[in-house]
Structure 1
């Protein structure tokens, strides 16, 4: 009897699961190779036969079915019966791609089904090339051995969303999952139109999620009064809590995870307080006490936020007060090691402080240490060093075990001479930017001996020692302003204080969902750029602004301060003014003479404007605005889309659809500190003609002084 009951329960369970799967169709997801770091075609050859692509699957998604769609081209000299490409997922064989005749099929497209059970949280897709151009012994370095895999290749997945019930201990999952490399889209939900104080707490939460999203980017759509059909963050107080949301009033700051009202698989991160002050405490509990949160709900009794971070103490920037280990620039030490004869370069991302001024120095010193499988004889094996894809130096990989495996390299900043020295090599110039790529390309030479004499060594390794250092000490801080490129790429000047303690966000008096969404998105981006959640930001409205001594981030669609009729301090200082269809531009150099340009035009226009704050010295104002809601969205897109961000620079940038037009309004102020002699050097560097004239005058004066002194000496000799 018990056996029949157990079978009955099992049958009912299976029927329930089957009904759920039928009711909830699988979601389609496509992962292109360009998203997995394969933006360029992947080329495999006889010596470097394998490429590995890494990707993750969110914890709340299960793979129902999967297909690998490969697009590739093979060398026409290959023998089709012996040449192919093998695909493996997490070490398990997936399938093989062959070509009947590479000469007749230059472009090959194949689809390989993948068993869903092979997927895990973190996955490695390996593509191995097996090629033969002859049935006899062949040289693995022969030019006929190649296959090129297109970046248009992709993984097509069908996924089913799961019900994650781990509660607070799993945070930030499922709202943000580090396994997912897609941009984060996380709605923020309010019971009623939020006040500036509630928006300040919401900005702190968006900074927390934005900092974790990092390179992926993040958007935070704003919803008022209803709940979306996806994971979301709810910020409510007792007096702004809709009755139909199923929430109970609270008398203490509370953080909880709940299921959605219509679908238990959709989760809600609920930040709740009896009033706005308790809501702020609940947010502090999430930001600073997450590791203590367990279960489905937690009450924050008390919490003491950390002290404000000092200026320039930015986690995401390379430190300038000490040499930095290269091992500190990677998440895992194994990323500093490669395998193969010509592997992909070891790439380190170094975010340099945007106001670091390098004009007084010839270069940056780097103490480089490295290891490699030593060649059996002297050959062309070498290590090439690049910075931002520009060649710096090439180091020979010697076969002698006693040979030096370290070198001191100078990364040049100015194009002086091209003489070569062992410790300080000066090569064609490059300028260190904000986001820099240090690339170390190992190339092991393979010398073919007599035919069929020997096979190549399969396991050839090389690596950069984590204790290698790069030294940025001694460089001054100086930035000519306004410069919207620094804001777009580094969040400067707001990220000088990584917790945004010196940032005030100013919204129009009547702000809507678009203004709030852009504000949350910008705070998330600033937090990603600084590496720290902007938990000390403040949000206010224009009418409540009272001559602050902080940097101002102005956000709005046709905000009042941009109006042509506005004579307030901000409007008088801004180089760009809007009034309906009218646009007025006045550069800093033209302000004294009264020269200005006014036009009337239709259409949506997004604007980015930077200028010095009229309220305090060494403080800045950046406006992200538009003449309409769509114009404001375009301005935000220009700061977050790679295809648009390179066009953002100078003091004014106009965005009309996909067109980004920067306008140079001149330099009106500077940030940072220089010594007196550095200021003199910098001034004359910008005025070479004046420096030449002064040098000629100084030379004539010295010549006259020398003539007068020598004439006096001659007269004295004559008298004696």
Structure 2
């Protein structure tokens, strides 16, 4: 009854989007009568998790609205919901006339009247929400009706405000639903697009997995990373046991399978099957089955590439063919570097390029760039931008401001409508909107691997005030509509790929250099033959991060547990565990971890920031220290491959299971990932510390004349010496020319005599 009523309410509230109109669960549910009592659990969603950063909101007279969004998983039903709101109204607000309206999915659920004792004080509201109004995707909206006087008000007055604290919380009581085993909804329920929390998906093996099972799990983790996108992901690994209260992925062959699958019939082909966990109809298992490890890899490849064909509770993968490998730098999540990229290709959700309101919210886009794009000498990146907007009431004061990575770049005036713009009225879709186009050059040095482009439309509004006789004229504020043209382009074509290595920041934030090919076709991973669960989890986290950054699964990655096979490798190498002898003796290794004994190279001078220029002498090794100590420690190091000058090695090392868990957590945490840079990063319980020490090298191609200019640009003293040399050479040439001219004139004079 709750589901049916929720759907009816959604239609009545005008939710034309099919996602809004859907009931709380779209997956088919099994009969609960034979399953006992469904589990119920409580969750708390802090505003820091579900509200726009930083989690707090300030409602004002010109921007009276604020909202949070949250989803409900398809395998859960909300039975109770409660909002704990901490807010502080302005002391200037007139009591009773000022209110805070709270809407759930555009249905008014409560009205808070500001009273005299609330003004300027911290207040708490506990509000029960009707779960019948909660659907798959939900919006909780707050609207301030603020007044500071009874006549001649100015909505832009700075005394009209109400702060909502980021300490506010949403409490949900969720009941599990027993789902049918139906693969047509895959990746649900293992990954639910309605769930905005970080994906946590356990992977289960019968015992320590061999190299074939490790590769199958790595490819599948990268695919789930693609689907998780911005959410983040973690993959806890278990041996011969199921997780408590979570869906799981289970890898099993006919000869090697967990104890809880002993009675499962053998398979004669790669098979994917969805079943309930033993004794628990509310938790599902996705079984990756095969005769051997090769079948498991085939099953994963079929699942990744052919998931749109899945249906029923079981699917047999008849055959899988990998066609042409990916080309360099063609990752789906990266901006094109061979042609201009349209803004439509950068959008991540519907209506992202539109906004509305008296002061419209900013329009934002994310630009993911290959980390080795050489932009040092670039004058700027050209961006052709078109926009449409509601004409402002006055000609001065309104503007469009463009920001890149929270830094102001340029602004453009928003002019009022004139007779020249009446021709736009012939186009119904943009009737009443102004249209404009500008070419903007973005300074290249302000770009990184992940960038945010923001367009702020700021409208200047004029409000009439009081007059000498006590009368005033009221102007009703209008809603402004702004649109960034999806055919706008940004052009990164024509730039070379050239980067100084090692660059652990590029690895942590973009999976580089392995992500140069989105399918990891030129990547080799050296793993342990008998990995611990923590080592396996770290491997899967790295693969999930790479998939999320590139937008493509690692279908062609190579894994090996034999250190001798990496010799003379023409691939970029990722080492998870102990360095093999062929790499361990390399003089470029700045950190070595061996049980409780750790060796570390330190530079002559260490800068606190990664973007500070450091000379080769300051970066050179100033000391070598060996310490034996208790306590967990892990490290990420980067150095040049001894087998190919254009290839790199990144090694992840730890001295204990707890240290592997710390390393795994650091790779999952965006803040800690941002602290990983340089050539070596040390992870301890106190946090992450990074060093830039030792020699560097360059990967990519740059013509010799551009390398010369780059060297001069990065070494001022060398540039000065070169300038002096050029002046001296030019002076000598001029001197010789003048002598030749003088001699010729003297010779002509002697001839005339």
Mark yes or no: TM-score above 0.5. yes
Deviations 1:140-194 (A, max 9, x none): 1111111121222221101011112151100000000011011111111112331
Q: Equivalent residue of 1:319, what SS? A: coil
Q: Call closer, same or farther: CA 1:321–1:647 in 2, change over 3 Å.
A: same
Question: Does structure 2 conserve the Cα–Cα contact (< 8 Å) formed by 1:571 and 1:577?
Answer: no
CA distance in 2 between partners of 1:331 and 1:643 (Å): 23
Deviations 1:396-454 (A, max 9, x none): 110134366111111123xxxxxxxxxxxxxxxx6111111100011111101254423
Question: Does structure 2 conserve the Cα–Cα contact (< 8 Å) formed by 1:58 and 1:177?
Answer: yes
Q: Call closer, same or farther: CA 1:306–1:164 in 2, change over 3 Å.
A: farther
Question: Does structure 2 conserve the Cα–Cα contact (< 8 Å) formed by 1:175 and 1:186?
Answer: yes
Q: Equivalent residue of 1:266, what SS? A: strand
Q: Call closer, same or farther: CA 1:133–1:20 in 2, change over 3 Å.
A: farther
1:56 to 71, 77, 89: 71
**2:344 paired with 1:327:** yes
The Cα shift of 1:343 comes to 2.7
The Cα shift of 1:130 comes to 0.7
CA distance in 2 between partners of 1:105 and 1:96 (Å): 19
Deviations 1:539-593 (A, max 9, x none): 221445342221111112xx254xxxx5755655422222333322246979999
Deviations 1:602-654 (A, max 9, x none): 32111010011122231111111112121222222222212322211100011
Q: Call closer, same or farther: CA 1:560–1:349 in 2, change over 3 Å.
A: closer
Hey, what does 1:284 align to over in structure 2?
A: 301
**2:713 paired with 1:685:** yes
Equivalence map 1:426-465=2 (5 Å): 431-451=446-466, 452-465=472-485
Q: Equivalent residue of 2:280, what SS? A: coil
CA distance in 2 between partners of 1:375 and 1:343 (Å): 12
Q: Call closer, same or farther: CA 1:242–1:486 in 2, change over 3 Å.
A: closer
Question: Does structure 1 conserve the Cα–Cα contact (< 8 Å) formed by 2:383 and 2:491?
Answer: yes
Equivalence map 1:126-525=2 (5 Å): 126-165=141-180, 167-229=182-244, 230-242=246-258, 244-245=260-261, 246-401=263-418, 402=420, 405-413=436-444, 431-451=446-466, 452-525=472-545
Unaligned runs of 5+ in 2: 1-30, 422-434, 467-471, 604-615
CA distance in 1 between partners of 2:223 and 2:635 (Å): 27
Hey, what does 1:38 align to over in structure 2?
A: 52
Aligned residues: 682
Q: Call closer, same or farther: CA 1:624–1:326 in 2, change over 3 Å.
A: same
Deviations 1:347-395 (A, max 9, x none): 1111111111111112111111111110232131111110011111111
**2:673 paired with 1:673:** no
CA distance in 2 between partners of 1:212 and 1:141 (Å): 43
Hey, what does 2:546 align to over in structure 1?
A: 526
Select between 300-309 and 585-594 the one with higher mean Cα deviation: 585-594
Hey, what does 1:9 align to over in structure 2?
A: none
Q: Call closer, same or farther: CA 1:372–1:104 in 2, change over 3 Å.
A: closer
Equivalence map 1:611-630=2 (5 Å): 611-630=639-658
Q: Equivalent residue of 2:80, what SS? A: strand
Q: Call closer, same or farther: CA 1:525–1:593 in 2, change over 3 Å.
A: closer
CA distance in 1 between partners of 2:238 and 2:266 (Å): 21
TM-score of the pair, normalised by structure 2? 0.87
The Cα shift of 1:492 comes to 0.6
Question: Does structure 2 conserve the Cα–Cα contact (< 8 Å) formed by 1:237 and 1:274?
Answer: yes
CA distance in 1 between partners of 2:260 and 2:491 (Å): 59
Question: Does structure 1 conserve the Cα–Cα contact (< 8 Å) formed by 2:211 and 2:529?
Answer: no
CA distance in 1 between partners of 2:113 and 2:686 (Å): 42
Q: Equivalent residue of 1:305, what SS? A: coil
Question: Does structure 2 conserve the Cα–Cα contact (< 8 Å) formed by 1:55 and 1:123?
Answer: yes
Equivalence map 1:545-556=2 (5 Å): 545-547=565-567, 548-556=569-577
Q: Equivalent residue of 1:611, what SS? A: strand
**2:664 paired with 1:648:** no
Equivalence map 1:569-648=2 (5 Å): 572-586=587-601, 596-648=624-676
The Cα shift of 1:104 comes to 5.3
Question: Does structure 1 conserve the Cα–Cα contact (< 8 Å) formed by 2:355 and 2:481?
Answer: yes
Q: Equivalent residue of 2:402, what SS? A: strand
CA distance in 1 between partners of 2:78 and 2:583 (Å): 58
Q: Equivalent residue of 1:710, what SS? A: helix
Deviations 1:312-334 (A, max 9, x none): 11111111111111122113451
CA distance in 1 between partners of 2:377 and 2:583 (Å): 40
Hey, what does 1:114 align to over in structure 2?
A: 129
Hey, what does 1:82 align to over in structure 2?
A: 97
Hey, what does 1:91 align to over in structure 2?
A: 106
Question: Does structure 1 conserve the Cα–Cα contact (< 8 Å) formed by 2:601 and 2:621?
Answer: no
The Cα shift of 1:538 comes to 2.3
CA distance in 2 between partners of 1:93 and 1:177 (Å): 28
The Cα shift of 1:714 comes to 2.3
CA distance in 2 between partners of 1:697 and 1:614 (Å): 37
Q: Call closer, same or farther: CA 1:176–1:82 in 2, change over 3 Å.
A: same
CA distance in 1 between partners of 2:382 and 2:563 (Å): 51
CA distance in 1 between partners of 2:621 and 2:259 (Å): 61
TM-score of the pair, normalised by structure 1? 0.90
